[in-house]
Structure 1
C-alpha cells in the first residue's frame, strides 16, 4: 500500500496546513459535483476536482509505490473493465489501497490557502482521510441509494462518446452491471469504516435518494463545513 501522506510531512503540521480544506466525497453518482458547484457559486471557495487531476497522477505514479495505479497506464479506454467482474475491479482500485492519497495531499498543499478549498472526489476512504483533517466537520461522505445511482449512471452514459471513453467497446448493459457492483462494494467499505469502533474520526455520512432538493442539501453542507451564509 502506498503511503497516505508525504514521508517528510509531520502529521500535526499536515492537518494544520490542510485545515482550510473541505472534502465532498463518498460514492459515485451521488451528486457530489452538483453540490460542489452550488457551494462554489454561493461561497468564496476554490474547487479542486480530483477526477480531472487523476490523468496527471498517472504520469507521477511509480510501480513500487502505486502498483495498481501504474497498471492502468497501459490500458486502452475501458480496459480496466474488460474480462473482469465488478468484484475484481473493486479489489484492484488504487484508491482502495491508498495509492491516490499522496497525490491528493501534494496537490492540495500546492494550492493557495487564503480561502477554503472544496475537494470533489469519491476515491478516498474514511481511514485514509482521517489523518488529513483536524475536525470531522471538514468532510462528508455521500452515498446514493441503488435506484438513484442506476438512474444517474443510465442517464450519464446515454451519451455515446462519454460511454466509449469510460468503457470502450464494452456493452452498455454489461458495463453498467459491473459498475454498479463495484460501486456498491465501495459504498459498503465506506460504511464499514465509518461505523468501525476504531475509526479515528466520525464523519457525516448521508444517504442520497433525490428526495431533498440539491439547493437545500447544499445549505446543510455549507453549515456543516462552516462556510458561512450565502451572499
Structure 2
C-alpha cells in the first residue's frame, strides 16, 4: 500500500472482528452520533463477488459453485476456515477502492469481519483508528439465535441436509477465526475489545468511541 493511499484513508475508522460481536450495531451508532459516513463490508460482498475473476479470487469462485452440503457438511471446520475466501482477504482491495472513491467531507466508519488485521494494519496512519470486537463463543451463539428470531427467516444452515451438524461446523469455524484474530491483533499491536454477556451494546459503543478518541 502506497503511503499516499494511507494518508488518503486517515479519516477512516475501522471496526473488524468475529461474527455476532455487534460490529454493525456499534458502527451504526457511531455514525449516527458523530456524523460519520457508514460503510458495511457485508453489504458490499455481492457486488465485490461480481467484480472479481476466478484468477483474482479462486476460493470465492470455488465456494460459489458448491452446494450447501459441500460448503457446510462435506468439509471439516479447519478446511472451511482455511479456504473461506473472505478470510483469505480475497477482494479486500475492492473495499479499499470503495473507500478511496467516497467523498472526504466527513469521517467514514467501516465495519465487517472482512477487515483482517494484517490487511488493515498497513493502511493505518494512526493505529488508534482501528479496533476488533472479539465475541466469546457463548455470546456469539446468543447473538446468532437472537438475530434469527428477530428476522424470522431460515438461515443458510437450514438449507443443508443436516442443519444441526452444519451449525456445529460453522460454530467451530467461527471460534477458530476469532482465535486467529486474537493472535494476529496481539502480534500487530492492534486494539481489541472482548464482547460477552457482561458488555451491553451501549457500553460497547462507548468503549469504541473512547478508543477512537471520539468522546
Structure 2 Cα separation of the partners of residues 77 and 112 of structure 1? 39
Contact 1:95–1:124 at 8 Å: present in 2 too?
no
Matched, 1:221 2:170: no
Contact 2:72 2:160 in 1 (8 A): no
Select the residue among 187, 198, 208 that pairs with 1:211: 198
1:68 and 2:63 are equivalent in the alignment: no
Task: Indicate whether 1:128 and 2:115 are aligned.
Answer: no
- Provide the residue aligned with 2:153 in structure 1: 161
1:161 Cα offset (Å): 2.7
Once residues 69 and 5 of structure 2 are traced to their aligned partners in structure 1, the CA distance between those partners, rounded to angstroms, is: 36
- CA deviation after TM superposition for structure 1 residue 194, in Å: 1.9
* Structure with a larger share of its residues in helix: 2
Give distance in 2, aligned partners of 1:17 and 1:156. 36
The answer on whether the counterparts of 2:15 and 2:115 sit within 8 Å (CA) in structure 1 is: no
Q: Structure 2: state its 5+ residue gaps.
A: none
Query: What residue is the counterpart of 2:21 in the other structure?
Result: 30
**How many Å separate the matches in 2 of 1:38 and 1:170?**
38
Residues 23 and 133 in structure 2, CA contact (< 8 A), matched pair in contact too: yes
TM-score (norm 1): 0.84
Where 1:23 maps in the other structure, the secondary structure is strand
Counterpart check, 1:84 vs 2:75: yes
Please tell me the root mean square deviation across aligned C-alpha atoms, in Å: 2.0
Equivalent of 1:177, from 164, 168, 175? 168
Q: How much does 1:16 deviate?
A: 0.5
* Structure 1 counterpart SS, 2:54: coil
Residues 221 and 36 of structure 1, relative CA distance in 2, 3 Å threshold: same
CA contact (8 A) 1:22 1:139 kept: yes
Gaps in structure 1 of 5+ consecutive residues? 6-10
Matched with 1:57 is: 48
Residue 195, structure 1, aligned to residue 156, structure 2: no
The TM-score with structure 2 as length reference comes to: 0.90
Q: Distance in 1 between matches of 2:152 and 2:75?
A: 22
The DSSP-based 3-state class of the residue aligned with 1:161 is coil
Equivalent pairs counted in the alignment come to 214
Per-residue CA deviation, residues 159-178 of structure 1 (Å, 9 max, x unaligned), is 563414x6523433222211
After TM superposition, give the deviation of residue 12 of structure 1 in Å. 0.4
Structure 2 matches for 1:35-54, cutoff 5 A? 35-54=26-45
